[in-house]
Amino acid sequence: MRYFIREKLFSFGDDFWIEDDSGRRVYLVDGRAFTLLREKLVLKDADGNELGFLREKLISLRKAYEIHRDGRHVATVRRDLFNFLRCRFTVDVPGPDDYEAQGSFLDHDYRFTRGDRTVATVSKKWLTVRDTYAVDIADGEDEVLILASAVVIDQICHDRDGNEHGH
C-alpha cells in the first residue's frame, strides 16, 4: 500500500494528514499533545480514534522516540551511531525482528528492512507533488508502525529550525 506524507511542513504543535494513493485522508498525526518534559505526537485514524503515540526520549545523548500502542511500548526508533558511509536507524521492537532503515534520509530515499527482506520504501523520486514523499509498505506489514517510524525519522533528520541532520 502506498501512503503520502508532506515533508518539513510540520513540527510539534502542528497536525497533518497521511493520505493513501487515492488522496483519501487515512491517518491524522496530532502534534498538539505535549507533556511537560517531552514532545509527543498522537497518531489517529480518520475517525479520530487514537492508534498510538510517539514520544521523544533521550538515550545516551541521542534523540530517540518511543512508539506506544494500546498503553504499551511497541518500539523505539533511534539513529544508530554514525559510520562514515551511511546513516542508519533502528526500529527496536520487543523480541526479534527489528526493522532497520538505511539510505538517504535527507532526500527521502531509503528503505525499511526486516532481516534481509525489504518491507517498505520511502521515496520522493517520481513524485510531482512538492514537499511530499511516498511510503510503500509490503502487504502484511505493520503499516501504522512503519508510518510512525517514517514520521519519527523525518522529525529527527529535519528539526524545527530547518536544520538537517541526516545522510
**Would you state the pLDDT for residue 160?**
47
pTM: 0.84
CATH code for the part of the protein at 2-157: 2.40.160.200
Residues 59-71 have a mean pLDDT of 83
Averaged over 23-31, what is the pLDDT? Answer: 90
* Secondary structure (DSSP) of the chain: -EEEEESSS--TT-EEEEEETTS-EEEEEETT-B-SSSBEEEEEETTS-EEEEEEEEEETTEEEEEEEETTEEEEEEEEPPP-SS--EEEEE-SSS--EEEEEETTTTEEEEEETTEEEEEEE-TT--STTEEEEEE-TTS-HHHHHHHHHHHHHHHB-TTS-B---
Average pLDDT over residues 152-157: 83
The yes-or-no verdict on residue 14 having pLDDT over 60 is yes
Residue of 140, 142, 134, 129 lying closest to 51 (CA atoms): 142
What are the structural domain ranges in the chain? 2-157
The whole-number average pLDDT for the span 59-87 is 80
pLDDT of residue 60: 65
pLDDT in tens, 84-143: 556 789 999 988 889 999 988 878 889 999 999 999 999 987 666 667 889 999 999 999
As a whole number of angstroms, the distance between CA 97 and CA 95 comes to 7
Please check whether residue 154 is in contact with residue 166, taking contact to mean a CB–CB distance below 8 angstroms: no
